[in-house]
Structure 1
Amino acid sequence: MSADVVAGWGGGEAATASGKKTLWWRDAPSARLAALGVVAFLAYLGGTWAFPLLRYYRTPLLDLGKLLDHGVRGGLLYTAAAVVCLACYGLALRIASRSGARLGVILVFALLFSATLFFSYPWGAADLFDYAVIGKVLGQYELNPYVVTGVELAGEPWVDYAPWSDTTSAYGPLWTALAGAVSRLAGKGLLANLLAFKGVALAFHWLDILLIALCLRETRPDRVAAGVLFYAWNPLVLVETLANGHNDNIMLAGMLLAVWLALRGRMLAAMLPLAGAVLTKFWGGLLFPLIIAAGLREQPRSLWRRLAYLAVAALLFGGALALGWAPFWAEGQGAWAGFRLQLFTTSWPLVARLALERWLEPARAMALAQGLALGATAAYALARAVRVRRAELTEASYGLIFFYLAFGCAWFQPWYLIWLVGLAAASWDRERLGRAALFSALGLLSYLLYHFVWFGWGLDHFSIDGFRALAMAATVLPPGALWLARGCMANR
C-alpha cells in the first residue's frame, strides 16, 4: 500500500502494489483492522451495557468497585475487558504502522467507540458531576465558582453527587466559563447536564484527532493514519474522555493547536491557543518555554528583533491570561494553589515525601517534596528549551509532558495520560509511542489496584499513602525506568 494511500483522508478504495484499485474489505490490512475494531467495539458495548448512564446517574458517588462489589470476580471481569481492548489496540497499531490501513476504516471505528462509550456511566471518577455543579454555580445561580462552592448553595441537590463540591473551581476560567454556558443551555436536569458535558468531551475528542492529523501532515505525512489510530483507538483515552467525561482533552486541543501553528512558523499566533490551554488546566503552560525558545531561534540575529519577538509573545500570552481571569478574579483566590500543593497520590513526589517524613515534620517534608518535583520539571523544561528547534516541537513537547507525569506530578491521575498519548501520536516515534502506550495501559489497569486489590483483596492493612506508593511501582515506575534506561544506553 502506497504512502499516499496511508496518508489519505479515507475513501472506499485502496491501491494495490500493481496500481489497481480494490475495495477496502478486500484490502488485507484494512480487513484485519476492521475485524479487530469489531472485537473492541463489542467490548466497549458490553461495558456500556453493564454500566449505562441512564440506569445509574441518580445514585450518588458510584464507581467501578462499587458497581462490581469490589470482588474477585468483578476484578477479573474488568481485567479481561481491559486486556481485550488493549490487545486489539496493540494489534491494530501494528497493522497500521507496518502494513498501512485506510484512514476511513480507522475513523469509522473511532466513531463507533466514542458513540458507544458516550452513554456509559462515569465509573472511573465523579468529575463529571463536579463539572455540573461548577457550571450550575455560574450558569444558573450566576455566582463566582472561584468564591462560592456548591455546598454553600442552600438545598442544592447535586452536591451529593460531586465529591469536590466543598471546594471552589480547580480549573482555569476558560473551562469554568464554558461549564457555565453548558449548564445554562442544558437547564436544571442533572441528566441533561451530564449529557451536555459529555457532548463537549466528544466534540473536543474529535478536534484532537483532527489536530493530530494536521501536526503529522507537517512532520510525518506517511504516518497520519497510524497516528490517528494511536490516539483515537487508545482504550485509556476513550474511557477517560467518553465514559468518564474528563476535560483534559480540551487542554490537549490548545496544546496541539499551538504546536501545529508553531510547526507552520506562526510562533506568535501559537501563544493564543497555548494561553487557552492554560486557561483550561494550568499545566498547559509547560509548553510555553519550548515554543518561546523555538520561536526565538527563528528570529534574525538582531537583538532588537529578538526582544521585540519576546515582548509581543509575552503580551499575547499574558494578555490572554489576564483577559481570561479578569471576570473571575477575587481577593484570596491564590489560596487554592496552596491547597493543591498538599495533594499527593500515585507518584514519585509521594515516595519522596514519605521518605522525608522520617527526618522532617510532615509540612516541611511535603513542601520539600513538591519543591524538588517542580524544580526538576523546571530544570528539564529549561534543558529542552535551550536546544529545541521548530521542527522538533512535537518531540520536545512530548518529552516534557512525559517527564512531568513520570517524575514531577504529585497528584497523578490516569486521565492525565490523555495529554501524553495525544502528543505521542502527533510526534510519531517508535520509542515514544511505546512508552506512551505502556503508560496508558498501566493507567487503565491501575483501576484494578484501587477498586479491587486495595478494597476487596485483603490489602487494607496498608495506609492509603503506603498503598499509593506501591501502586506507583506498578503504574509510574515502569515507563520512567524505560526512559532512564534509554538515556543511560544512549550515553554509554
Structure 2
Amino acid sequence: MIRFRPPFSFSLFWPIAFSIAGYLLFRDRFPLTPYFDFVPQLDIRSFSSSLSAGFEYALLLIVLFALYWRVTQLVWIEKRPFSPHLLFGLTLVYGLILINTYPINATDIYRYVIRGRVKSVHQQNQFEMPPDAFPEDPFAKYAGEWSEETTPYGPVWEIVATAVTSISGDNFYLGLLLFKGVGLLSLMGVGYVLWHIHAKQPPERRKAYTLLWCWNPAILLTFVVNAHNDALMIFWLMVGVWFMRRNRLTLGFLFLVIAMLTKPIALLVLPFYFVANFRKLPDWSTRVRFTAVTLLSSLLLTWLAFLPFGSPVDLIFRLVRESSTSAGFSIVALLVLVNQTLQIAILPIRFLQLALVVYILFLLREFWRVVNGRSAPNAIQNSFTGYLLQAANFRLWYTTWLLPWSLIEQPITKKPSYRLKVVLWLLLTAQLSPLIFGHLRVYELDGDQLKAHLIAIPFTFGLPFLLAKIQRVNSAQFRITKDENRTRIFTD
C-alpha cells in the first residue's frame, strides 16, 4: 500500500504562516510606491519617528528571525518532511511580498538606476562620468551624496545595470522593481547552487543548509528590499565553487573572476582558491598547464569585461579614495571618536593605516595556512570577517558575505556549528544596529556619536560570539541531562 506523504509537516504551517504575515506587515509599514520619489531618500527613522516605533521594528525583526530559526530546527534537527519545491516556492513568495518595500537600510539601488542610465541613456562611461555630469537627467536628483562619484562596482555589474535601465527607460519606479527582481533571482540562484553543492548530504541537512540561506530575514531584506548587488557577486562565487568541486577547476575559477568583475571585494577569494586548486593537481606538468590556462583566461576575461569601458585605473583610484577618506559605524570609527574626545595627538588616518596593516598581515597568515592545506572556504570566511572588522566604514551587507562560506563548510553534525551560529547572530545584530546609531542616538543620547558607537560596536560585533557560546553551553548541558535520564531509565 502506497502511503501519501505530504510536502511538509503541519508543524511547519504556523511558523511559515506567521512569517508571511510578518513580511506583509513589513511591506505595509515601509511601502515603496508612495515614497519612492522622495528626495532626500528615506530611512528607518523616517518611517518610525520615535524610540517606541524603533522598538516595534526591532521586535518585528527578532520575531522573523525566531520563526526562521524554528523552521530550521524542525527541518534539520526534528527531520520534519519538507519539500524542496516548497522551500524555493516560499522563497519566491517572501521575495514577491518584499519587492514593493522601500529600501530602508541602503538606498544604493537609486544609484544603480542613475549610473545605469549613464550608459543606456547618455551613452557615456560610468567609470569616467559621475551622475552630476548630466544635470538635465530627470533622475539626477536621486543621486544624493554620491552625485560626484563614478561607479565603485565592476564592469559586469554595470553591464547588468545598463541592460536593466535600457528596459525601464524613463520609468524610475520600474527600474527600482527590476533591480529588486535581479536581487531576488540572484538570492534564489545562490540557494539553488547551495542545494546542488550539498547533493551528497542527508536530505534534512541539505534542506536546512539551503533554507538557512534562502529564508534568512537579513538576506531577504538586504537582497530584495535593499536590492544590494552583493547577491549577484555571491551567486557567481557559489557557481565557481560548484564547478571546482566537480573538478572543473579553471572554469570554476573563471566564475570567481566574474564575481570580482561584478564587485571588486570578491578579489579576496581568488588567491585562496587558486592555491587550493593548485594543490589538488597530481603533478607539476598539470600544475603548470593549469596556471598558464587559468591566468591567461582570467586576463582575457577581465580585458573583455572592461572593453566597453576602458581602463580599470579609474575604478582602482575610486575605491582607494572611498576607503581612506572617512569612517563610520565601525571599530575604526569608534577609535577615531575616542581619540577626538580624549584629544590624543593621533591623526585619524593613522587608525585607518594601522587597521589596514594588521589586516594585510592577517590575510598573509590565512593565505599561508591554505598553502599548507587549510580549507579555502574557512580562510575566505575569516578574511571577510577580518575585512568587516577593520573596515573604516561598516555596512550591513558586509555580513551577508559570511553566510555562504559558513554553509558550504558546515561540518556534518546534528546541529549548526559554533561558527555558523556566530554568523547567524551577526546577521541579526547588524540589522538591529541602525536603531542604535539612529533611534537611540537621536532620542536618548542627544545625538552623541561616541556613546552610540560605544553601545553599537560591542552589540554588533561582540554579542554574536557570546550568544553562540551560550547556545553551545546550553546544548551541551541539555545533552548531558538527556544522557543521564536515559541511563536512569535503564538502571531503575
TM-score for the superposition, normalised by structure 1: 0.86
> Of 399, 408, 433, which aligns to 1:426?
408
**1:415 aligned partner, one-letter code:** W
> % of aligned pairs identical?
23
Residue among 32, 49, 55 paired with 2:28: 49
Unaligned runs of 5+ in 1: 1-18, 487-492
Contact map agreement 2:254 2:294 (CA 8 A) in 1: no
**CA offsets per residue over residues 466-487 of structure 1, 9 Å max, x none?**
634542211122346789999x
Q: Are positions 1:335 and 2:317 aligned together?
A: yes
1:403-460 per-position Cα deviation (integer Å, ceiling 9, x unaligned) = 433x343332111222222232333342232111111111121122123112233341
Measured after TM superposition, the shift of residue 36 of structure 1 is: 0.4
In the alignment, what sits opposite 2:372? 386
Query: Which whole-Å CA distance do the structure 1 matches of 2:185 and 2:422 have between them?
Result: 27
When residues 384 and 453 of structure 1 are mapped into structure 2, their CA distance, relative to the original with a 3 A threshold, is farther
Stretch moving more, 374-383 or 32-41: 374-383
Once residues 453 and 160 of structure 2 are traced to their aligned partners in structure 1, the CA distance between those partners, rounded to angstroms, is 33
Offset of residue 384 of structure 1: 3.3
Partner of 1:216: 198
- 2:251 equivalent in structure 1: 269
Any unmatched runs of 5+ in structure 2? Answer: 472-492
Q: Which has the higher contact order (CA 8 A, sep 6+)?
A: 1
Cα distance, 1:412–1:247 mapped onto 2, change above 3 Å: same
The answer on 1:117 being equivalent to 2:98 is yes
Equivalent residue, structure 1, for 2:304: 323
| Higher alpha-carbon deviation: 468-477 or 261-270 | 468-477
Q: Post-superposition shift, 1:347? A: 3.0
In the alignment, which residue of structure 1 is the partner of 2:53? 74
Decide whether aligned partners of structure 1 residues 469 and 59 sit closer, same or farther in structure 2, where only a CA change above 3 A counts: same
**1:333–1:396: structure 2 CA closer, same or farther, 3 Å change rule?**
closer
**Is 1:153–2:134 an aligned residue pair?**
yes
Report the Cα offset of residue 181 of structure 1: 1.1
Aligned counterpart, 2:478? none
Superposition pairs of residues 357-376 of structure 1, within 5 angstroms: 358-376=344-362
Corresponding residue number in structure 2 for 1:16? none
Kept after mapping to 1: 8 A contact 2:332/2:351: no
Deviation at 1:382, TM superposition (A): 3.3
- 2:427 matched to 1:440? yes
Task: Choose 343-352 or 195-204, whichever is displaced more.
Answer: 343-352
Q: Does 1:452 align with 2:439?
A: yes
For the aligned residues, what is the CA RMSD? 2.6
Separation (CA, whole Å) in 2 of partners of 1:485 and 1:79: 22
* 1:172-187 to 2 correspondences below 5 Å: 172-187=154-169
Is it true that 1:126 corresponds to 2:107 in the alignment? yes
Name the counterpart of 1:198: 180
Moved more, 285-294 or 251-260: 285-294
- Is the contact made by 1:236 and 1:444 (CA closer than 8 Å) also made in structure 2? yes
Q: 1:236 aligned to 173, 196, 218, which one? A: 218
Amino acid of the residue matched to residue 247 of structure 1? N
* Correspondence for 2:276: 294
Q: Which residue of 2 aligns with 1:8?
A: none
CA contact (8 A) 1:395 1:427 kept: yes
Scaled by the length of structure 2, the TM-score of the pair is 0.86
Q: Distance in 2 between matches of 1:484 and 1:281?
A: 33
Q: CA deviation at 1:397?
A: 3.6
Whether 1:99 and 2:78 are equivalent positions in the alignment is: yes
Q: How many residues align?
A: 457
CA distance in 2, matches of 1:383, 1:167: 38
Distance change (3 Å), C-alpha of 1:414 and 1:139: same
